[in-house]
Structure formats: C-alpha cells, structure tokens
Amino acid sequence: METKNVMIVGVGGQGSLLASKLLGRLLLDAGYDVKVSEVHGMSQRGGSVVTYVRYGDKVYSPVIDEGQADYIVSFELLEAARWLSYLKEGGQIVTNIQQIDPMPVITGAAQYPENLVEKMQATGAKVDAIDCVKLAQEAGSVKAVNIVLMGRLSHYFDMPEEAWIKAMEAIVPAKFLEMNKKAFELGKNA
C-alpha cells in the first residue's frame, strides 16, 4: 500500500498529543508501518503546531510535505487554512470551527480572515467543519475536542469502529473512557 498521510494541526497547548497517540496505536494494531513526528520546545508556547502521522507498508520520511496530506485534522480554523497547501489533490480537511486569535490579530496588526471554510472550498479542497467544542461539552468535557475530531476522521477512514474503540481503550484512562467514547460517537455522527 502506498503511504497515507494525516496531519494534525492546531495551536500549542490544544492537546493534539492524545489524537496522534490514538492514531498511532490504531494504525500499528492494524499492522501498518507507522511514523509520527512532532515538534517540542519553543514553538509549543501558543504557536502554530503540527504533528505528522504516516502509515503504509514501509514508511521512510517522518514528515509530510506540501501536496501530500490525505487528511488534515485541524483543532482551529486559521490553522487549517495555514496548512492548506499540504493537502493532496482530493484530500479531506476535518476542522474544528473554533477561532483563536494569534498575537498579530490580538495586537491589531492583522485581521482574522473571514469565511475561511468557503475560501478553502473554493480552492477545490474538501472541508468538513464542525463545532467540536460544543460536541465535546455535550460529551462531558471541553478537553474531548481531540476525540470528537478523531471520531469525525473515522467517518472518512477505512477502519472498523471496533478498532478505534480498542485503541482508545489502550490509551485513555479508564475513568475517562465512557466520556471519550461518547465524544467519538458525537464526532463520527456530526
């Protein structure tokens, strides 16, 4: 199988680590060669952050480059737009509609662009934008945004739901499992 690429993008501190951990586990259990690449350190301090997840028969590069992502999963709308050029032709964007102002917008040096979903769609990209914060709250915790997004991603992934649940059971603490399962379902059916 040709290597498939998933990018998880967001703002430092939004909790993309659990999402990449879940994906990594899922894909490894499914028998794929997997590489997950993340960046630590200064860029994590409220900056734009990206995690690359790659899987297939044999994965070489740990990173994803422009025009290569089969999926971009975004925790924040502007970040989906920032990484748009990494999307492969026919690739799918799954994004939270939450907007977090970056410092240039806060200080008034720049504007947060309007109608980003429509503008991304106008480039031919397939964009699925959902209110993950609302769904996560419905599931029981705003912190479950990552699992809501994974639930939505599962909608496009050729992988049985039992495999996702099994991976979740392996990495989520038992006391949060039910809440996360609910968040996953809400995301999947959004």
Partner 1 sequence: MKELMLGNKAFARGLYEAGCCFVSSYPGTPSTEITEEAAKYDDIYCEWAPNEKVAMEACFGASLAGRRAFCGMKHVGLNVAADPLYTMSYTGVNGGIVIAVADDAGMHSSQNEQDSRHHAIASKVPMLEPSDSAETLEFVKLAYELSEEYDTPIIVKMCTRVAHSQSVVEAGERVVPERKPYEKNIPKNVMMPGMAKKRHPFVEDRMKRMAEWSETASVNRVEMGDTKLGIITSSTSYQYVKEVYGDKVSVLKIGLVNPLPTKLIKDFAAKVDKLIVVEELDPIIENHCRALGLTLNGKDLLPICDEFSQNLIAEALGEKAAKGPSLDENVPVRPPVMCAGCPHRGLFYTLSKNKCTVLGDIGCYTLGAVAPLSAMDMTLCMGGSISAIHGFNKAGDGENEKKTVAVIGDSTFMHSGMTGLANVAYNQSNSTIIILDNSITGMTGHQQNPTTGLNIKGDPAGKIDLEALCRAMGFNRVRVVDPYDLAACDAAVKEELKVDEPSVIISRRPCALLKYVKHNPPLCVDKSKCIGCKSCMRIGCPAISIKEGKAVVDQTLCVGCGVCEQLCPVKAFESSAKEAVLANSSEPLKAAGLPAADAAGQRKEGN
Footprint of partner 1 (CB under 8 A): 11-13, 24-25, 28, 33-48, 59-63, 65-69, 78-79, 81-82, 84-89, 91, 101-113, 116, 119-120, 123-125, 142
Query: Closer CB to partner 1, residue 61 or residue 189?
Result: 61
Least separation in angstroms between residue 118's CB and partner 1 is 11
Query: Closer CB to partner 1, residue 25 or residue 182?
Result: 25
Q: Which of 69, 60, 113 is nearest to 89 (CA)?
A: 69
Least separation in angstroms between residue 189's CB and partner 1 is 25
For residue 32, the surrounding DSSP H or E stretch is: none
Structure tokens at 84: 């748009």
Query: Closer CB to partner 1, residue 85 or residue 189?
Result: 85
Least separation in angstroms between residue 35's CB and partner 1 is 5
Query: Closer CB to partner 1, residue 66 or residue 178?
Result: 66
CB 1 within 8 A of CB 59: no
- Rounded to whole angstroms, the Cα distance separating 189 from 183 reads 10
| Start-to-end Cα distance in the chain | 30
Structure tokens at 83: 């990484």
- Rounded to whole angstroms, the Cα distance separating 76 from 106 reads 16
Least separation in angstroms between residue 138's CB and partner 1 is 17
